[in-house]
Amino acid sequence: MRSGKYGFMLQARSITKSYGLLDALRGVDLSVDAGQIVALLGRNGAGKTTLISIIAGLLKADGGTVEVNGLDASGHPDEVARLLGVAPQETGVYRVLTVRENLEFFADLAGVPKKKRTTQAEEVAEQLGLSELLSRKGSELSGGETRRLHTACALVHRPRLLLLDEPTVGADVATRQQLIESVRGLAADGAAVVYTTHYLPEVEALEADIVIIHQGEILDRGTQAELIERHHRGGLWFTVEGELPSGVLSGLEVLHQRPDGDDREQFLVGGDIRMVELVERFGSQAAQLVSVERNLPDLDRVFMAVTGESADGDGVEPVEQAAR
């Protein structure tokens, strides 16, 4: 991983946060370099918003430190705030102000000098496809347009570190693509980006460094290719109806096992076994083999291998717990 003149643009160390008895963050380290996009990937409740809020200075951690561009955030809150662009999950734009007024207001708030505000507002509006809407009021925007304006307000002062918490929630395909393109463009211009999501196609489109966060802990980090290389075990998924014929699993490594409806069970077996070999193992009971598919190297399966759960779907019991 690269680090610049002052080290990483963001370096969070040993961050802890509890809400009552719940440990929302259990000693999280996160570093992001200039020009790097880090996707914080985790299910609902994993701790993404809590972490982003702490880095943004909106929430106090119980322990740990945050440095932005080499500055300790708790000792230099104003300087750090000027380096940050934050788009929280809930959209917050002024409905009575026009798009231009919103952008200029947020630019002013972030300390952009008056004579630069118009240019920067127009530039960010162009980037996010809002140029035609500059004189439209916040109250007259669609959900997707509001979402884009919300993100644009976080970008208008050209932050060095951008924190985006699920920026595409409720956005249509076109808005989603526009946001992703903008984020990639900003990173190419040198911004460090932290982007939270549990939507896997987005992580792929961002070509981000992926940080898997689960129950308040970071379990792994790497590019999609690195994570697949590290965790993909090959093998086959198959579904059996009724009782599994004896001998089918003999000599195979069972990676996952889960019920699939009332009378069905799904298995993932690792290794080089071919589909035809599996069918042969069922012999005369082949009709019980409802489906079989190759375990493809995709991000959801990597996420499942790391956390034991799907990023946006069913929980999967690791086989040690599921075995009877």
Residue 250 touching ligand ATP (CB under 6 A) = no
Separation between Cα atoms, residue 153 and residue 141, nearest integer Å: 15
Q: Which is nearer to ligand ATP, 16 or 239 (CB)?
A: 16
Select from 30, 46, 84, 125 the one that contacts ligand ATP (CB under 6 A).
Answer: 46
Residue 88 touching ligand ATP (CB under 6 A) = no
Distances 314 to 107, 234, 260, 284, 311 between C-alpha atoms, Å: 43, 20, 11, 32, 8
Q: Which of residues 181-240 bind ligand ATP (CB under 6 A)?
A: 198
Degrees to nearest 5, angle at CA 163 with 60 and 34:
115
Residue 164 touching ligand ATP (CB under 6 A) = no
Least Cβ distance, residue 46 to ligand ATP (angstroms): 4
Select from 31, 49, 69, 295 the one that contacts ligand ATP (CB under 6 A).
Answer: 49
Degrees to nearest 5, angle at CA 241 with 245 and 319:
75
Stretch that binds ligand ATP, among 47-55, 107-115, 174-182, 277-285 (CB under 6 A): 47-55
Which one-letter amino acid corresponds to residue 216?
Answer: G
The answer to whether 54 touches 46, Cβ cutoff 8 Å, is no
Q: How many CA atoms lie within 13 A of 162 on its CB side?
A: 33
Q: Is 320 helix (H, G, I), strand (E, B) or coil?
A: helix
Select from 6, 7, 14, 45 the one that contacts ligand ATP (CB under 6 A).
Answer: 45
Residue 90 touching ligand ATP (CB under 6 A) = no
Distance of CA 181 to the CA centre of its chain: 16
Residue 44 touching ligand ATP (CB under 6 A) = yes
Residue 133 touching ligand ATP (CB under 6 A) = no
Select from 6, 7, 14, 22 the one that contacts ligand ATP (CB under 6 A).
Answer: 22
Q: How many CA atoms lie within 13 A of 140 on its CB side?
A: 10
Least Cβ distance, residue 170 to ligand ATP (angstroms): 13
Site residues (vs ligand ATP, CB under 6 A): 19, 22, 24, 42, 44-50, 198
